[in-house]
Amino acid sequence: MLVAPAEGWLTAVWPFVRGRLPDAPARVVEIGCGPLGGFVPMLRSDGYEAVGIDPAAPAGEGYRRVAFEEAVEGLSDIDAVVASASLHHVADPAAVIDRVGSILVSAGTLVVVEWAWELFDEPTSEWCFRRLGPDARAGWLHRRRDEWTASGEPWGTYLRDWARAERLHPAGLLVELLDRSFEREHLAYGPYFFSDLPDTTEREEAEAIEAGHIRATRVEYAGRRR
């Protein structure tokens, strides 16, 4: 059975997220849960009082269709906040991270999974593009490949221009901002692209990273409110 990229990503990242959370029944907020609901179904199944916040969140209990910056009701004394591939998209990451700290209990937990787009160098892009599925199942990596080819620019120039147009924040900046408000407990880098590459496993991407063929662009961060 084919697994959608987003579902494969959630399944792969869940052990890290779950392993950094306080015990259930803690109150957990997920920022940017997306249309699939992110980790909220898994959290609620494990006994957490979980809420996903995203303008594109599913309808129903456990979700709020609003930007985190605008959400108000019930956002206090939260035990943990989860943000997966969402902080690099927000308009003002410093303000969002400050707000996360303001809704957490003392020494509350923040778990972040991010993408270091600034490490997406040309060897890594070519490794990914060689492993793309058919164009009939085109995703974001197909679009990056096609736009880069059409641009006629060197990969690094194209990537910087694309990130600037999308207003993406580099992971290095996000980690710096996180460290200002949180006591870091974990920081690691690893595979990111595998769930969008139909015949590539997380292990295979990790092996390519370990061999020095590609860069590790997944960022895992966990910390406690200062």
136: which 2 tokens? 């009939």
Question: By the 8 A CB rule, do 96 and 69 touch?
Answer: yes
Q: Verify that 149 and 190 share a domain, yes or no.
A: no
Strand partners, 186: 222
Q: Verify that 146 and 207 share a domain, yes or no.
A: no
Please report, for residues 10, 71, 207, the alpha-carbon distance to residue 56 in angstroms, rounded to integers and kept in the order given. Answer: 17, 14, 35
Q: Verify that 133 and 32 share a domain, yes or no.
A: no
Q: Verify that 40 and 143 share a domain, yes or no.
A: no
Split at pLDDT 50, 70, 90, the class of 129 is very high
Q: Verify that 156 and 82 share a domain, yes or no.
A: no
Any idea what the CATH number is for the domain that residue 202 is in? 3.40.50.150
Q: Verify that 110 and 197 share a domain, yes or no.
A: yes
Degrees to nearest 5, angle at CA 36 with 170 and 172:
10
> Is the pLDDT confidence value at 1 over 60?
no
* Mean of per-residue pLDDT scores for the chain: 94
Mean per-residue pLDDT for 152-162?
Answer: 98
Structural domain boundaries, residue 192: 5-118+167-225
Mean per-residue pLDDT for 125-142?
Answer: 89
Q: Verify that 70 and 145 share a domain, yes or no.
A: no
Tens of pLDDT, residues 170-208: 999 999 999 999 999 999 999 999 999 999 999 999 999
The pLDDT, as a whole number, for residue 2 is 37
The share of the chain scoring above pLDDT 90, in percent, equals: 90
Q: Verify that 102 and 185 share a domain, yes or no.
A: yes
User: pTM of the predicted model, to two decimals?
Assistant: 0.94
Give 130's DSSP letter: T
Q: Verify that 36 and 103 share a domain, yes or no.
A: yes
Q: Verify that 83 and 114 share a domain, yes or no.
A: yes
Tens of pLDDT, residues 16-73: 999 999 999 999 999 999 999 999 999 999 999 999 999 999 998 899 999 999 987 7
The pLDDT, as a whole number, for residue 221 is 98
Q: How many domains does the chain have?
A: 2
The pLDDT, as a whole number, for residue 136 is 60
- Nearest Cα neighbor of 220 from 191, 183, 198, 181 is 191
Q: Verify that 24 and 69 share a domain, yes or no.
A: yes
Q: Verify that 59 and 25 share a domain, yes or no.
A: yes
The pLDDT, as a whole number, for residue 3 is 45
